[in-house]
Structures are given as C-alpha cells and as structure tokens.
C-alpha cells in the first residue's frame, strides 16, 4: 500500500457507534441514518415488525429535527410511488419499508416503474424467518425470484453478519452508474439477531466493482472531442435530443451551457422534460408520439442528431429506419453502454457520465465558434407556424385550456406529477418547466395511479415547492386512498383532476383505430363523486369546475390555498391529444388534428452553403 493511501486510511474518522452491540433492525436504521435518509414510506406487518420497532426507538432517543419520518400510506403500492416521487424530485435515494408476502408483492409495480425510468430507490421488505423460507409459511412470497427480473439488484439476507454491509451496498448500487431500484429481502430472524455494528464496509462484487471504478474514471479525451467537433463543423442543422439521463445524471446545467455555447436547439423526451428550460428560445419541447409538431419536424430536418441520456425509445423513434432520416451523423452520450447502438446506429459515442462529458465538450470547444443562424431561423419558424393548439371555441372545457390556465399561475416553477393517459400528455405539452426534477411522470411503464402518491413523496422531499398532481379520473382511482394520506400528514399537494368520465387515451385509440368501439372505457355510469370523496378524506378545499367562466378564479384559489387542495374540472370527453404519431409510423405520418397546421412538402428544409462553424 502506498504511504499516501495508508495515511488516508488512518485519517478516516471512525463511526461513533462502531463496536456497539445492536439488533439487526437497529443496524438497518443506523445505516439509513448514515445514508442521509430522512423519510421512510411504508406499511407495517409481522415480518417487518422488528424494524418498525427500531424506527420508533431510533426517533424516541433523538431531537425531532433528527427523526427519520415514517409515512404510512393506504397501500404499499402508494408507499413505493411516494418513495419514487421523493427520489425523482430530490435526486436522493427513496426508501420504502414493507412487510412480507402481499406487502412486498404490492411493490412490484413501483419497483419495475423505477427500473424502467432509472430511479434510485431502496425497498426493504420483511421475510419469514430463514428456517421457514420455502415452506409456504404465512405471508411468504418468493421475493428474490419475483423482484430479480424487475430490479437493478435483489438481496436475500441469509447471513446476519452481512446485514449492515448489505444495506449500505444497496444504496451504493441504487445510485451508482445508471440508477435503479434495489430490493432487500430481510428475514425476521436476521432483524432480531444481535451482533457488532462495524460502521463501515460494502459487500464485494468483483466484476461490478471493477466496472463501477472504470466508469467513474471514464473521461472524454481531447481526441474524442476533436472528432465530435469535426462532425459539428460539417453540420448545418445540429439538434440535441435530451433524455431522462440528463436529469438523473444532474447534467441539466451542463446541457444548457452546451446548448448556448454552440447555439444548438434541443428537443427532449417525455422523461427529459425539465432538462432544458421550456421557455428558452432554443427549446423545441418534447418529441415523439405526442411531441410537438415543430420538435418532430426539426428531427426530420436535422443533419446531426446529438443524443444525451436518451435511448431511442419506441415512443420516440417509432419506425426506427425513418427516424432522423437526414441525419448523416448521430452522436450518443450515455452512462449505459448497452444503450449505445441498441436501437439506432451511431457515428460517434461516449459511454460515461453526461455531466462530465458535456463539461469536457464545452472545455475542449472553448475556441469553437458557431452560429447556425439559418438553422435557428428555420426552427423558430417551425415553432411559430406549427405551434400547439386546440378547439378554443368548444362549448365544453378543453383539457389543454385547464393546463394553460394553471401555467399562467405557476409560470413553470411548480413540481408537477401526473397519472397516465391523455391528461399526462396534455400536461407535457402545455405546462412550462424551467427547472429539472419538476416533471414527475411514469414514462416507460406508463403506470396509472402514479401521480397522487408521487406528488406526496415530492412534496415531502421539497416542502417549500408548489406541487401539483395533474390526474385523470381513471388514474386517480388506482390509488385514491392516498388522498387520506395527504390530510393525515398535512401534505400541501394540489390535486388537479381532469374528469372526462372516460379512459381518454384508450378511448382515443378506439376512436381512431377500432371504429369507435368503446369497450370498457366509458366511466359516465360510475357513481364516484370525487369532490365528496376529497371532503370525506378531510380536504378543506374541494371544488368542482363545470363553468369555463369560473375556471381561472377557482384555479387561483386552488393554487393559493394553504394546505391540501382538490380541484375537479369536468372536461370534454371527445377532446383528443394531438399531434400523434401512430405506433410503428414515422414522423411524416404524424397526425396534427383539426387545430394545428401540418407541414406542406415544400416547407421541408433546404439549408445550403458552406456552414457557419469555425473550429478555432
């Protein structure tokens, strides 16, 4: 060992509780505290009871500001999505604590949702004692087998001596590299075992540890940067395509610097919303199936597509062979090597941290002068001509106008969560997002019921923020029990319910592709009175808007209310979300509906000349 390393090891401060004899459950709580956890979302039960007892004892011995807050939901799925919302809004690892059997299986959907959207989360679930595993004991489920296919990693703690390191390693794995959820299946007898707390140490995973270290050391060198700028020099129409990896990698500031340094416009994926300020002149907003028409037209026109933290998802790339058809060069920066070239072949790539890569490109390109004025003028014209629009003369309230009204008040500063469906896409289109981690939605999994619990988690992570759950009548039913959780804990979330009395997105597909056979999507026969439900759950502000003339006043009162608030707006069930690129279609086949302007063939870009980029 080198002398410097030896000194560093000696200088490392010893944990104040190292050497203390502790119960396993106490060790779990101590590691959570060491990892900076301030909130746990979960539901108790027999197999996890020792750890819940440890939560109580941990808080009893400390000042209130040092407590680990315990939030008990109506359902474990709600707890999982609260932990996810907490993580998405804060960037910290969300924590969920549930019992065995049904408690754990109720968390399968949140775990898969986090895995699909690369969200760091740790789920600790109780398990029957080790001797009873495999005997179909009461509330036993094979969680290791069930979760292994949908989590980043799963631990079944068989050796009590590994417990402390296992919990610490779960956090390390959850947030390192491409983030994701980690599950700890924790037998009851391991929780009750007494042992010596070490205060340090991770489990060893030789291959994983080597890859993690190698990834951390991966830097964009001058040679790779020169190759990138060589391609940029040839380009006349470069376009940034930013995904959720920008946000998960905390690279939004670096992306914005890169955009403005080189004057390159940007489109974002659904998960990438907020990585670019949507009010920025260089922002073209969301691309893809329900992206803005001008974003999709820009993708059609660009000659150099620069993908950062995006994975060419089917809702973006559609017909892959026709995606970005004029792009002779495609660059891809991603933390996950498996994503590079997986869907679309690229001509330049960097497997590494987006924050570091973008910082390096700005550094190495400090003398690169770019203008792309003709391209930016073209893009600006696309935004003006092919802007979002809807039926502004409709008799019934339109979903888009509700969100436009909200946006006038929140001005792009609110944290917004959503359920899944039409309301989700309307929110993505018509609400501004000036900052990262202010748009929370279930992207890859598309999980109805996500919005309400995610908003609760987000508000607990960011107590001073305005947090709005934009939900649909179908989605909110999935986890409506969490309305009571809001009032139980005084969570200052605003629930904006767009009620069209149908499953809007599925009904739209039935309208367009199934000859208006509305099988299973009509909800107007249901008896749910959402406002009365909110009042029954303790909401002091619970109103319904059916009159357009009252919409703005109600919205202002709703956002300004000090405490949990519920506003239901009855909207037009025939309102459809456009633009729309049908499944397996290309952007040329995009449908813009009756109230937006489609592009004429002669409008397609023809920017010629020698280009406007000088290298140094």
CA distance 470 to 427: 7
CA distance 173 to 175: 6
Marked catalytic residue, from 23, 26, 35, 76: 76
Residue 570 bears catalytic tag: no
**Are 609 and 374 spatial neighbours (Cβ–Cβ below 8 Å)?**
yes
Marked catalytic residue, from 147, 505, 570, 576: 505
Which H or E element spans position 348? Answer: strand 348-351
CA distance 547 to 566: 17
Residue 300 bears catalytic tag: no
How far, CA to CA in Å, does 505 sit from each of 159, 297, 318, 581?
48, 24, 18, 14
Marked catalytic residue, from 139, 144, 198, 234: 139
**Are 234 and 329 spatial neighbours (Cβ–Cβ below 8 Å)?**
yes
Residue 138 bears catalytic tag: yes
CA 282, chain centre distance (Å) = 23
**Are 263 and 379 spatial neighbours (Cβ–Cβ below 8 Å)?**
no
Marked catalytic residue, from 7, 56, 66, 138: 138
Find the radius of gyration of the CA atoms of the chain.
25
Which H or E element spans position 240? Answer: strand 238-242
CA distance 151 to 242: 24
Marked catalytic residue, from 77, 147, 188, 558: 188
Please spell the DSSP secondary structure of 115-155, one letter per residue: HHHT--EEEEEEE--GGGTTTT-TT---HHHHHHTTSSEEE
Residue 188 bears catalytic tag: yes
Q: What 3-state DSSP class applies to 187? A: strand
Active site (catalytic) residues: 76, 138-139, 188, 505
């Amino acid at each position: 060992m080198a002398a410097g390393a030896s000194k560093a090891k000696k200088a490392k401060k010893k944990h104040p509780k190292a050497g203390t004899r502790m119960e396993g459950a106490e060790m779990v709580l101590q590691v959570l505290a060491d990892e900076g956890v301030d909130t746990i979302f979960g539901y108790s039960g027999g197999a996890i009871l020792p750890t819940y007892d440890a939560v109580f004892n941990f808080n009893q011995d400390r000042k209130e500001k040092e407590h680990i807050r315990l939030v008990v939901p109506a359902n474990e799925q709600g707890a999982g999505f609260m932990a996810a919302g907490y993580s998405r809004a804060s960037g910290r690892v969300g924590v969920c604590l549930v019992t065995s059997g049904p408690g754990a299986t109720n968390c399968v959907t949140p775990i898969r949702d986090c895995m699909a959207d690369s969200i760091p989360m740790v789920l600790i679930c109780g398990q029957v004692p080790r001797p009873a595993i495999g005997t179909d004991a009461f509330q036993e489920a094979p969680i290791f087998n069930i979760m292994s296919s949908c989590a980043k990693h799963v631990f079944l703690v068989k050796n009590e001596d590994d417990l402390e390191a296992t919990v610490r390693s779960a956090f390390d794995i959850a947030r390192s590299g491409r983030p994701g959820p980690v599950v700890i299946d924790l037998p009851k007898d391991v929780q009750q075992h007494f042992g010596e707390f070490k205060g340090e140490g991770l489990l060893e995973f030789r291959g994983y540890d080597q890859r993690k270290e190698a990834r951390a050391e991966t830097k964009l060198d001058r040679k790779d940067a020169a190759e990138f700028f060589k391609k940029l020099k040839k380009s006349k129409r470069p376009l940034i395509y930013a995904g959720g990896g920008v946000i998960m990698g905390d690279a939004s500031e670096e992306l914005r610097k890169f955009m403005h340094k080189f004057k390159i416009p940007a489109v974002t994926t659904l998960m990438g919303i907020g990585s670019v300020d949507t009010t920025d002149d260089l922002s073209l907003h969301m691309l893809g199936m329900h992206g803005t028409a001008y974003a999709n037209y820009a993708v059609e026109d660009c000659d150099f597509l620069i993908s950062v933290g995006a994975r060419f998802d089917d809702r973006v790339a559609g017909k892959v062979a026709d995606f970005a058809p004029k792009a002779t060069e495609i660059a891809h920066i991603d933390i996950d090597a498996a994503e590079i070239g997986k869907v679309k072949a690229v001509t330049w790539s960097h497997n590494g941290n987006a924050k570091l890569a973008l910082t390096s490109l700005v550094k190495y390109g400090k003398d690169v002068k770019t203008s792309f004025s003709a391209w930016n003028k073209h893009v600006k014209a696309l935004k003006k001509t092919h802007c979002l629009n809807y039926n502004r003369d409709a008799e019934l309230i339109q979903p888009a106008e509700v969100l436009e009204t909200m946006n006038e008040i929140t001005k792009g500063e609110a944290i917004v969560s959503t359920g899944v469906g039409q309301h989700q896409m309307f929110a993505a289109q018509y609400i501004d997002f000036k900052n990262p981690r202010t748009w929370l939605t279930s992207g890859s999994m598309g999980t109805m019921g996500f919005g309400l619990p995610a908003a609760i988690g987000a508000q607990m992570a960011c107590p001073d923020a305005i947090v709005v759950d934009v939900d649909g009548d179908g989605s909110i039913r999935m986890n409506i029990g969490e309305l009571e959780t809001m009032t139980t804990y005084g969570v200052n979330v605003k629930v904006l319910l767009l009620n069209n009395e149908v499953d809007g997105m599925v009904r739209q597909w039935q309208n367009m592709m199934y000859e208006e056979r509305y099988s299973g999507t009509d909800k107007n026969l249901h008896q749910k009175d959402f406002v009365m439900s909110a009042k029954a759950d303790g909401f002091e502000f619970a109103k319904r808007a059916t009159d357009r003339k009252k919409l703005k006043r109600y919205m202002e009162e709703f956002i300004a209310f000090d405490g949990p608030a519920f506003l239901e707006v009855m909207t037009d069930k025939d309102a459809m979300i456009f633009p729309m690129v049908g499944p397996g279609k290309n952007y040329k086949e995009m449908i813009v509906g009756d109230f937006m302007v489609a592009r004429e063939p002669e409008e397609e870009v023809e920017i010629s000349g020698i280009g406007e980029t000088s290298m140094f």
